[in-house]
Structures are given as structure tokens and as C-alpha cells.
Homo-oligomer: A and B are copies of this chain.
Amino acid sequence: MMSENTEKPIVLVIDDESEIRRFLRVSLSASGYEVHEAATGEEGVTRAALLRPDVVILDLGLPDVDGIEVLQRLREWSHVPVIALSARHGDADKIAMLDAGANDYLTKPFSVGELMARMRAARRNAQPAPESSVMQVGDLRIDFASRAVTVSGAPVKLTKTEYALLHLLAENAGKVLTHRQLLRGAWGPEYENETHYLRVYMGQLRKKIETDPNNPRYIMTESGVGYRLIG
């Protein structure tokens, strides 16, 4: 494959603010990453093509091209995990970013610890997926082949739609799925604005698989954005 175990993982930072780049260069290098940088979107795409990085950190507020476009061009040929950075305001950008295929996002300011945790998660879930057909998260166990779900061994009965949602979340464990993505996946493209469906069904799902539905351990909600199954 790529530089998996033999070398340091390569991370490409695409951001026009030099302070941020410097900050990330220092902290990520110290943690064992090989850090490369690009100051513009154009340069970012080019460098990514040459470098084949293991993970990309992409700022939305680029001067030349929109972050979305950078991501789209990246996705035309690569499945590299991408973590989006956004300045506080603007849910719309974040959502567009996730819809376009970003794996996760962070709002500035952020802590290095959190960033690195998300990078690990993104890389972990970006595996070529030799899909073992059964996944386990904590006490939650999903057998995709038999379509069976259990919580600490006890079988859970899910309806068609509930299972469809959980399946989507599980396939992308650790990754934020936008409302739109979930609705498209479980109901179809023509439902992508019926976000209230999600509230109802996430509630039902939690009631069935969470021990304490008020403090969810598995299905986390990303306010204004979507939902995520921990992974």
C-alpha cells in the first residue's frame, strides 16, 4: 500500500494562514507525523497528487479556490481521509464539506489533542474495508450478513428504516454523516430535507440500543450538522 507501518504517516496541511501552518507543523511533527504544506487550493491538489498523503487537513477559507472544490477534485481520484477546518461561523460550509466527502471537521480554535484524535479515527476508518460483515462497538454488535443487531448479547428488533440508518452510521463509524446524507441513504434523494424524520428515528434507535438514551454512548448528534456513530 502506501507508507503505512514502515514510515511516518504523511499529513498534508492546506491552509493559507501561515500561523496555522506553522502551529500544525510544529505540533504534528512532534507527534511523529511527516508534515507537508500548501498555501493555496491549487497547490494543495497538486501536492496531494504527488505526495499521496495519509491524511489531509483542509481549511475552508482559501483565497483562490473554494475548499469544497479542492475536496471534490481530491475525491475524483483519492479516498484519503480529509479533515476540514472551519472558522467558527458558517454551518453551511461545514455541511457542504461533509456532503462532499470530508471525513470530519473541526472549528477553530481547536486543540491539538482533539485534532490528533480525529486524525487517528479518520485513518482507522479509512481502511480499504475488508469488511468482516460484523462490527462491534462497545456492547453494540451488528451482523451485516444476517442483519442482526444485539446489545450486550440481547437481540434488538429493528424496523426496516431503523436498520437502514444504523447500517449507514456503522459503515461510516467515527465519521460525521450529514442530515442530507442520512436522509438520502435511508429514504432517498427526494427526502433530503425532511430532517425531522431523523429526530424521530434517532430517538427510536437510541431507545433501542442505548442504555441511557439521554446520554448516548453510540449515536452522537452533531448539532446543525448531522449524526455520528462512535468508532
A interface list, Cβ under 8 A from B: 145-148, 159-160, 163, 174-176, 222-225, 228
Contact = CB atoms under 8 A, between A and B. Distances in A.
Contacts of A222: 147, 160
8 contacts: A146-B175, A146-B228, A147-B222, A147-B228, A148-B174, A160-B222, A160-B223, A160-B224
A29 to B, nearest CB: 48
A224 B164 CA distance: 12
Nearest to A158: B222
A110 to B, nearest CB: 42
What is the oligomeric copy number? 2
A146 B176 contact: yes
A223 B160 CA distance: 7
Contact of A174 (B146, B160, B225): B146
B175 A145 contact: yes
A185 B3 CA distance: 46
A26 to B, nearest CB: 51
A147 B176 contact: yes
A174 B146 CA distance: 6
Contacts of A176: 146-148
Contacts of A148: 174, 176
